[in-house]
Structure 1
Amino acid sequence: MQRYAYLLLSFLVLSPAVSAEQRWIQGIGYVEPASEVRRLAFKHPGILGEYHVQIGQQIKSGDILAMQQNREEQTAVTVAESQLLAAKAELDKVLAGVNPYEIEAKKHAQQVTTLDAEYASRKLDRIEHLRNNKYASEDERDLAETNAKLKQADSRRLHAETRFLTHFVRDVDKQVAQAQVSVAEAQLQAAQRRLAETYLTAPIDGTVLETILRVGESTFSVGSPEPAVLLGNMAQLRVRAEIDENYALALKEGQKALIFGRGLGDREIPAHVSLVKQIMGKKTVFAKTATERKDIDVIQIFVEPDGDMQVPIGLEVNVKVAIN
């Protein structure tokens, strides 16, 4: 009779509802969402600004749950956006080069100086012919020659200026301007990512179980993140139970089980074993009886109800698992 005194300790017992060949083992555990309870914290230190949800509220994956005070992060995004606009404007300026009308005007001026140089060259030829026939002086020839050289030099100058304006944008200038745009884009993305990290978002659909921090409190404590929200999917609950190591080899997925306990009153909820962990551990759930052993190793199993089970998260219950 002493072994039946350990109600919450894993043990072997015969079920009165089945034949003598049917054996049961018993353990103790607690109710949790099948999604587990998510303890959500901010990624970086900061001050909690506000909650966007309330306890018991149903939320969808991606919904904003809370936010840190983020005025500095918002300012950083605004500055980065301005820097990107400036870099893009500089790139457009470089790619545009010189005003096309200025290039067109320079080409027309080049054509005029080319014609002047040709005229001056023909005039020099005529003066040279007249000087040979003693109809023009040496000074007139020198003046015509000098004028022809000046016109040719001016034509070459305008030709060089036209080429300079036409090829004003160098490849290296384009590369520098494009690199500045890339750097500005990367800085904007980093600022936007840092701002996004001041918002706490839901990783799953579920119910807000608890809001832990208060507005104005630090989201980090001694260098470690402080959970701000507890979240779980209440649509599917299960029991995480611990079974004595002596029965570890008798447990298998799919075995019939019963969920019962003081918190459930007279109810016994039909269930089944959905998972048997493949690693042993130390006992963490205790029945708080005088004769309970606390130094034993246990194996954890997940027991899922076969029907609806609306009970509080964390409720301590007993489970019985049928074995042959």
Structure 2
Amino acid sequence: MRKTILIVVIIAILAVTVSVILISARSRAAAMESARRQPQVDQPQTISGPGLVEPLSEDIKLGSELSGKLKAVYVEEGDHVTSGQLLAELQNDDYRAQIGSAEAQVIAKEATLRKVVNGARAQERSEAMSSARAAEAVMNNARAEMERRQKLFDAGVISREENERYARECDVARAKYEEAAQRHSLVDDRAREEDQAFAEADLRLARASLEEARARYAKTLLKSPIDGTVLRKHHRNGDETEIGKVQVGQRAYVTADAFAGHKFWGRVVRVGEQLGRKNVRTDEPTERVDTKILETLVELDKGAQLPVGLRMDAFILGGSPQVASIRADQ
């Protein structure tokens, strides 16, 4: 009797299974038939992939060719700038003074050249001519007196000493006339070619020095080469660009976003001897990974508990206020 019940149960289960399969097959066939009857709609093909927002122009990192101390930074991150706009300026009082000195030299050399080319003024020419004529008159009178005294000496009327005295006076008068005539000739004549060439060369040298001074001053002014937007400002007013300002033993402190408002103090214990590629990344989109840097090691004071691998900002203090700002990892 038990065998009969078992067989009946198995048959019932199989019957249900077959029924479900048949019903499912019929439903699938009906769904496929309904799909064939519906109008086909073309679906557009879509291609997906990761992307990155980039500026229309190249990402330009600007810096001064000169080393020095920042006098002012005139823009902030996010500011729109135009081509030629002044962005920052180094301290340049000495460069402006050099321009003033060079300008004064140019003015002096120009005056010298004008004097060489044009000669003396009309008043100087007139004075030189008058002096020459007066000296000539004195010489003629002295010569006439000497000739008269010579005749008296030949007649035995005057002594030899008196005759010789008038002869000497005539010689002195003639020498003074020759001197005055030579001065008048120099004042009245135009400059020699070699004198003019020397004055012109002096002027060209002074002008070249002025252009050089202006070029050095221009390098203290950091201007935008294109119309664009400031992505990041790396330095603030007073930042030093001279790596020689960083020395072993200087006090330093670090800050981290996880410890807002807290400074962890330390001291510079090692300054690299060679520039190299960056080993610390800020993960900022505008960061240049090929920039050469000089690694500096700061040892924190005892008691500073910071997790290894924490990203932070380090500030090194020198004789003046903050001289360097370095992004670092703990």
Q: What is the TM-score with the length of structure 1 in the denominator?
A: 0.48
**Structure number having the greater helix percentage:** 2
Higher Cα radius of gyration: 2
TM-score (norm 2): 0.47
| Larger strand fraction of residues | 1
Question: With CA pairs under 8 Å and 6+ residues apart, which has the higher RCO, 1 or 2?
Answer: 1
